[in-house]
A = this chain, B = another copy of it.
Amino acid sequence: MIQELTQNYSHLFEKELLNEINQVGTFKEISEGYRMIEIGQYVRSMPLLISGAIKVLREDSDGDELLLYFLEKGETCAMTLTCCLGQTKSEIRAIAETDAKLIMIPIEKMEEWSAKYKSWRNFVFESYHNRLNELLETIDSIAFLKMDERLLKYLNEKVRISNDNIINSTHQEIAYELHTSRVVISRLLKKLENLGKVELHRNHIVLK
Residues of A within 8 A of B (CB): 58, 60, 62, 64, 66, 68, 78-79, 81-82, 85-86, 91-92, 111, 114-115, 118, 121-122, 124-126, 128-129, 131-133, 135-136, 138-140, 142-144, 179
B133 touches A135 (CB 8 A): no
Give the CA-CA distance A126 to B84 in the complex, in Å: 11
A86 and B135 contact, Cβ closer than 8 Å, known pairs A143-B179, A179-B144 = no
A85 and B139 contact, Cβ closer than 8 Å, known pairs A60-B144, A115-B118 = no
Question: What residue in chain B is nearest A83 (Cβ atoms)?
Answer: B129
Give the CA-CA distance A51 to B129 in the complex, in Å: 26
A129 touches B82 (CB 8 A): yes
A64, A85, A124, A132 — which one has the most chain B CB atoms within 10 A of its CB? A132
Give the CA-CA distance A181 to B55 in the complex, in Å: 34
Partner of A66, one of B66, B114, B115, B143: B143
Q: A124: which B residues are within 8 A, CB to CB? A: 125
CB distance from A166 to the nearest CB of B (A): 28
Q: A144: which B residues are within 8 A, CB to CB? A: 60, 62, 64, 66, 179
A136 and B82 contact, Cβ closer than 8 Å, known pairs A60-B144, A121-B115, A144-B64 = no
Task: Provide 11 A-B residue pairs closer than 8 Å at the C-beta atoms, listed in order of the A residue.
Answer: A58-B136, A58-B140, A64-B144, A66-B144, A82-B133, A86-B125, A86-B129, A114-B114, A121-B121, A139-B142, A142-B142
- Please name 13 further chain A to chain B contacts, defined as beta carbons within 8 Å, in addition to the given A60-B144, A144-B179, sorted by A numbering: A62-B144, A64-B144, A79-B132, A82-B133, A85-B125, A91-B136, A111-B121, A114-B114, A114-B121, A115-B115, A115-B118, A121-B121, A132-B135
